[in-house]
Structure 1
Amino acid sequence: MTIVDGAVDDSIAMIGDLIGFPTVSRDPNRDLLFYVEAYLARHGIACDIIWNDDRTKGNLWATIGPADVPGVILSGHSDVVPVDGQAWTSDPFVLRRAHGRIYGRGACDMKGFIGIVLAAVPGLVRRNLKVPIHIAISYDEEFGCTGVRSLIDRIAGMPIKPALCIVGEPTSMQVVIGHKGGGMYRATIAGKSAHSSLAPTAVNAIEYAAELIAFIKSLSCEHAHGGPHDHVYDISHSTLSVTTISGGTALNIIPNSCEFGFDIRSLPEVDARALIERIRGHAETMILPRMRAIAPEAEIIVEPIVEFVGLSTQADHPAVTFIKRLVGRNDHVKVAYGTEAGLFSNSAGVVSVVCGPGSIEQAHKPDEYLDLAEIERCRAFLDRLAGQLEDGGLPWL
């Protein structure tokens, strides 16, 4: 069985339907899930939706083929980033086709992949699959991969776990075998205020925050110079970056509070939480004693906003070779951005790679687009995958 005429148009239509649901992470994805559930039901596929507490958001899980055999997960997140403040040429939630591309929020990140998978469903159900394909649609990926965790827990407890997960983030159909972990964090410094003419009697929260920022910078330099390094990444070492800061009320008032945010992108072999403990330890031993000598109530709190897990799949794993053969290219890369693949691999114990249509360069930007050629390449990949699962299964099992 090969790709039928009109398959690309079917994919475009499905992607357009998905883009029409404005599933910005701050908003529900419920209506999109109901749409997908009804679509799958029309093709005889039952699905399971794992809802959040107020049933506004959920993860969808569906299986095509035998349920008693380790299968392949095709995974994508339903949420998209906001369009607030962006200058779009057209309505971001109405698909526009022009210049060999489709435009819309989520076109490449990542309703494109989900739409291509769903459009392939009629052909998949007609096959005699020996190995199942699982469709996974998650939520709140853009909030630090927080929504998918209930689905990860479900998969981790399955008596027969899937053998492979393909997360369809936009990679131009190149196989990604590793990405950094880490997270985004907040440091809050509480000092003591005074008129600036009485500065020695106060605890200047901004100045002490600057000391902690300098320490975070030193940690980043330590990793840049001393490693560890993995030169398959474009940035070969772990990084720590202070990204936001606020504090103070007037030029003649010593500030009693300061808050800054920072970002850690750590190689999978580097423990980001250990870095956080070093930062907290420095604050508690080197900074807070001097602050509390003047103001016993002084405090420094370092807390996570979101954290994500790195991915490290061995390049010589037969699953990687298998996917490379299906996409028709023999190279692989590692990337600095995070995905849900790290959770599928580390928390659910499923061998995972990232591979999907479109370029990450288009993600989150106004007039986000997906080339039609990428849709064709992804459709061809899914067709070859289905053929393999129909004819011979997974070669490493």
Structure 2
Amino acid sequence: MTLSLEVLERLVAFNTVSDRSNLAMIVYVEDFLRSRGFRVQRIVDAEEEKAGLFAEIGPSVDGGLLLSAHSDVVPVIGQDWSVPPFKLTRQGERLFGRGTTDMKGFLAEMLAVADAVHARDLKAPLKLLVSYDEEIGCVGISRMKDRLPPLLGRPRLAIVGEPTEMQVAIGHKGKRAYRADIRGEVGHSALAPTFVNALHVAVDFVGKVRGMQKVARDTGARNAAYDVPYTTFHVGQLSGGTALNFVPDKATLLCEFRHLAEDDPEEIEVQLRQAAEAVTAEFPPAAQISLQALAGYPGLSMAASDPVVSLARSWCGGDTTHVAFGTEAGVLSSLGIPTVVCGPGSMAEQGHKPDEFISMLQLNACSVMLQNGAKQVLYRS
């Protein structure tokens, strides 16, 4: 346990908020793993000063265990912290610092188990995946996705260590986010009815999105495992206009939907675009709504009866659950890899909050899970 705390202290000290480079932290993880005999490959982002990382040790065969974590954290600006956010601070059984729960605590335990297995005779490989820009919509792993299949192969099980209080999460919704650029006509407000007001067009589009939510709530697919048991629609931002006496000719809107596995995101996107067309048809030809997809990730849906779910539960002693937040597990699952989400800490209680912390109890439980997994899947008898 001492090693994982030393590693966690180093990881928290890297300010890897998503608007910053993560390369210094990636170098640290690379050096840690290479010194222990791992085969390491950096996955460089062509657009950003960032990178993901894949590492493997053991025989190059199918099976084995894949552990996955993201390197980025959410911002601390505007939050009232009582401890330095990028310095690990221990108070009793709590370890404070940005990312301790989401999700550098799990990453520290990943590296600790890497240290434990590197001197052992392995029958199957341990594979580690570190991504970036997860906090802004799983952007990093989406960019890495095409390069992953030959690297990841066919693990017996993948564990994404997002905070679940060490319960085995077998499902979460998928998500797609959009920017709507809305165009109208500029003019003097004294003649407002003779021009196309871009904000009016935008508000009518918001009404259509709310209508889609009503249909999903009243007649759509349902899954009682979720707090909100149906596909959800959300408008998060709307802006436009320059002055009260001008009819605005431009507006911008950000929206998203989070869909159940039973609902096809492609079909929902078609409906969203049809809604935009229906709105503009009610205005003069100058009205336009241009929808641009920003980010998204697939959902996760594993059967509770799946043998790998039982396997993960046997390692941690946890029950199965569904989580409200999205993870990179959906991407791994879409590559044909049996995947669950299980990690230390509580997203609801600690994730994204000031004075974020992880408890020693949760870290210990995570360590036990990974040690059990290594003994059962990786080590020769």
What is the TM-score with the length of structure 1 in the denominator? 0.91
1:299 corresponds to which residue? 288
1:290: which partner in 2? 282
Written as runs of structure 1 = structure 2, the 5 A alignment for 1:1-397 is 7=1, 9-53=2-46, 56-157=49-150, 160-284=153-277, 286-292=278-284, 296-329=285-318, 331-346=319-334, 348-361=335-348, 362-390=350-378
Question: Aligned with 2:129: secondary structure?
Answer: strand
Could you tell me whether the CA contact under 8 Å between 2:54 and 2:151 is conserved in 1?
Answer: no
Aligned length: 380
Q: Answer whether contact 1:129 1:386 (CA < 8 A) is retained.
A: no
Judged with a 3 Å threshold, the aligned counterparts in structure 2 of structure 1 residues 209 and 341 are, in CA distance, closer, same or farther, namely same
- Alpha-carbon spacing, 1:279–1:390, altered in 2? closer, same or farther (3 Å): closer
Between 1:130-139 and 1:373-382, the stretch displaced more is 130-139
User: 1:291 is paired with a residue of what secondary structure?
Assistant: coil
Alignment-derived partner of residue 4 in structure 1: none
Amino acid across the alignment from 1:289: A
- 3-state secondary structure, aligned to 1:102: strand
Unaligned runs of 5+ in 2: none
Measure, in 2, the Cα distance between the counterparts of 1:70 and 1:154: 19
The secondary structure found in structure 2 opposite 1:165 is: strand
CA RMSD, 1 decimal = 1.8
Any idea what the Cα deviations from partners look like across 1:98-142, whole Å, max 9, x if unmatched? 131111111011111001111222221233221211111111111
Displacement of 1:149 in angstroms is 3.2
Deviation of 1:157 after TM superposition, in Å, equals 3.4
Amino acid aligned to 2:296: E
Report the identity percentage: 39
C-alpha displacement at 1:156, in angstroms? Answer: 2.0
For 1:42 and 1:235, the matched residues in 2 are separated by: 46
Q: 1:53/1:87 Cα in 2 relative to 1: closer, same or farther (>3 Å)?
A: same
Question: Normalising by structure 2, what TM-score?
Answer: 0.95
Distance 1:207 1:91 in 2: 46
Deviation, structure 1 residue 163 = 2.5
Matched letter for residue 328 of structure 2 = E
Deviations 1:68-107 (A, max 9, x none): 2322110000011111111111221111111311111110
Q: Secondary structure at the match of 1:244?
A: strand
On the 8 A contact 1:202/1:254 being kept in 2, the answer is: yes
Local SS of the residue matching 2:61:
coil
How far apart, in 2, do the equivalents of 1:16 and 1:158 lie?
29
Mark the runs of 5 or more structure 1 residues left unpaired by the alignment: 1-6
1:185/1:262 contact within 8 Å kept: yes
Whole-angstrom CA distance in 2 between matches of 1:205 and 1:18: 46
Taking the aligned partners of 1:159 and 1:369, their CA distance within structure 2 comes to 31
Letter in 1 for 2:370: L
- The secondary structure found in structure 2 opposite 1:50 is strand
1:45 is displaced (CA, Å) by 2.0
Distance in 2 (CA, whole Å) between partners of 1:254 and 1:109 is 45
Residue 273 of structure 1, CA deviation: 3.2
**SS of residue paired to 1:339:** coil
Q: Which amino acid aligns with 1:384?
A: N
Code of the residue aligned with 1:309 in structure 2: it is P
**Structure 2 CA distance for partners of 1:227 and 1:310, relative to 1, 3 Å:** same
Q: Work out the CA distance in 2 between the residues paired with 1:151 and 1:280.
A: 28
> Using the alignment, how far apart are the partners of 2:178 and 2:157 within structure 1?
32
Cα distance change on mapping 1:54 and 1:159 into 2, 3 Å = closer
8 Å CA contact 2:201–2:287 kept in 1: the answer is no
Instruction: State the 1:392 CA deviation.
Output: 7.2
2: CA distance between counterparts of 1:218 and 1:302? 18
- Cα shift readout 1:144-173 (whole Å, capped 9, x = no counterpart): 112123543233235942222100000000
Q: What letter corresponds to residue 327 of structure 1 in structure 2?
A: C
Tell me how far apart the structure 1 counterparts of residues 144 and 282 of structure 2 sit (CA, whole Å): 47
Give the direction of change, closer, same or farther, for the CA distance of 1:345–1:94 in structure 2 (3 Å limit): same
SS in 2 for 1:363: coil
